[in-house]
């Protein structure tokens, strides 16, 4: 696996892929570790997770630099990602006992009936490059604390991040085998899922990748959780605070170089304030600092690879050819590295890539609608259903619209985000299952009924 710095195009490291022997050894070690790990008192597992949070905070800059080098994340955003990983560790270290406590049920006199929550075993985690630490920690913090063990198949462009995460847990005191990184290409995933020692799988990634994992797992009746793509609407109503909506919207679209499943991608704006919002939004987008991800002031870094940039520009060019108007940006930047400028498209015709596909980069499509109902219709006019954002000064109105939008989460007067305290996941082509909160912790447990006569 060759790692290329997307800001410079230079190869910075090479990692050897795991062969058959390494895969066998990893799965054998995971199975062996599970037998003792599942018996470890929950309080001890919580303490180890709290220790992992300490390791993350003590080495925040080191891990942030690793993300910057491998996938181009601006250094300030990379440091924030490490801190968020420490937060999810803190959260489950504090709340795992409450989340996993027995559920008691009505029963006949003299009996006791309850549901206990027991770990499933070895869980395969197939994770993406865009948030290379956070995506992994939001899986491992609840799943390992529930008593499972994890095997990570990370994206091929962030192998250093994968190995660093394994080292973090070992430094925190986790037993060997409880969490392991396995550097294998995607074509090895089906065989790993089929292995009888693997009991479940989770994936964050594209629709095709999710279907492949779901198909392989279903063949062997194994549990899966899928967090897939998104084309999140950002609905701006006629009574919205336009300054706040434009400022937050620009950030919601361009955070992490626009490379986020829950980024605001389709801006649905009421006709009465459309022109005003568009002027403010374009100005906010153009004010974002694009540049070297080592610079603390940089807000938008490179795309994660030259290939990803090329795909993004093909989608923009096809949309423009179909009739879309470029308000700002729209061409790769004339500089070293995979840089694409924050871009705004309007007059987006039905059926073009900007209308129907997920644009995984800093490109916003803006639509004008004349009534509230049309805004909901436009928001739902997508195969995806991950998140949404609604902007209005009337909180009751915002909640009414939120209930009509087909998505796993809707934020009113806030950008869409994942938070350890609330369930996260999508509907439709955005996947199924939930991560985070109590719901996420119980995805990979056996809810066992125990009847005591």
Q: Which residues are the active-site residues? A: 227, 261
What's the Cα-to-Cα distance from 121 to each of 83, 138, 169, 358, rounded to whole Å? 28, 18, 18, 34
Tokens of 89: 């560790």
Tokens of 166: 């394994």
27 Cβ contact list (under 8 Å, min separation 6): 122, 151, 192, 195, 197, 198
Tokens of 335: 């500089």
329 Cβ contact list (under 8 Å, min separation 6): 285, 340, 341, 342, 343, 344, 362, 363
Measured CA to CA, the distance from residue 303 to residue 11 in angstroms comes to 16
433 burial (CB, 10 Å; 0-12 / 13-18 / 19+) is: buried
Q: Are strands 179-181 and 149-153 parallel, antiparallel or unpaired?
A: parallel
User: How wide is the angle at C-alpha 420 spanned by C-alphas 416 and 421, nearest 5°?
Assistant: 90
Measured CA to CA, the distance from residue 318 to residue 110 in angstroms comes to 71
Q: Are strands 223-227 and 431-432 parallel, antiparallel or unpaired?
A: antiparallel
């Amino acid at each position: 696996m060759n790692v290329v710095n997307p800001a410079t195009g230079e190869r910075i490291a090479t990692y050897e892929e795991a062969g058959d022997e390494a895969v066998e050894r990893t799965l054998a070690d995971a199975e062996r570790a599970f037998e003792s790990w599942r018996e470890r008192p929950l309080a001890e597992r919580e303490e180890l997770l709290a220790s992992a949070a300490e390791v993350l905070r003590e080495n925040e800059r080191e891990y942030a630099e690793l993300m910057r080098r491998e996938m181009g994340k601006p250094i300030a955003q990379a440091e924030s990602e490490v801190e968020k990983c420490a937060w999810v560790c803190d959260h489950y270290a504090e709340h795992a006992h409450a989340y996993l406590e027995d559920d008691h049920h009505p029963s006949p006199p003299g009996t006791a009936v309850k549901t206990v929550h027991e770990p499933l075993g070895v869980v395969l985690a197939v994770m993406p490059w865009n948030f290379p630490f956070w995506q992994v920690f939001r899986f491992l913090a609840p799943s390992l604390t529930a008593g499972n063990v994890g095997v990570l198949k990370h994206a091929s462009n962030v192998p250093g991040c994968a190995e660093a995460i394994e080292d973090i847990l070992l430094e925190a005191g986790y037993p060997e085998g409880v969490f392991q990184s396995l550097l294998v290409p995607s074509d090895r995933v089906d065989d790993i899922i089929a292995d009888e020692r693997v009991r479940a799988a989770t994936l964050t990634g594209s629709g095709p990748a999710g279907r492949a994992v779901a198909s392989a797992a279903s063949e062997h009746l194994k549990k899966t959780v899928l967090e897939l793509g998104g084309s999140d609407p950002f609905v701006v109503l006629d009574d919205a605070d336009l300054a706040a909506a434009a400022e937050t919207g620009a950030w919601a679209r361009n955070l992490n170089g626009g490379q986020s499943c829950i980024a605001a991608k389709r801006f649905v704006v009421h006709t009465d304030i459309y022109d005003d919002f568009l002027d403010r939004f374009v100005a906010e987008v153009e004010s974002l600092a694009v540049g070297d991800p080592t610079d603390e002031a940089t807000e938008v870094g490179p795309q994660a690879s030259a290939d990803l940039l090329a795909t993004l520009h093909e989608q923009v060019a096809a949309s423009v050819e179909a009739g879309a108007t470029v308000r700002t940006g729209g061409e790769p930047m004339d500089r070293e590295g995979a840089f694409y400028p924050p871009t705004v498209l309007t007059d987006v015709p039905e059926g073009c890539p900007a209308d129907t596909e997920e644009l995984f980069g800093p490109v916003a499509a803006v639509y004008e609608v004349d009534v509230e109902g049309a805004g909901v219709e436009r928001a739902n006019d997508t195969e995806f259903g991950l998140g949404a954002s609604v902007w209005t000064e009337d909180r009751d109105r915002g909640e009414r619209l939120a209930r009509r939008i087909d998505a796993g989460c809707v934020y009113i007067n806030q950008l869409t985000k994942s938070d350890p305290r609330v369930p996260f996941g999508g509907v439709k082509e955005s996947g199924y299952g939930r991560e985070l909160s109590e719901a996420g912790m119980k995805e990979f447990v056996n809810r066992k009924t125990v009847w005591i006569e």
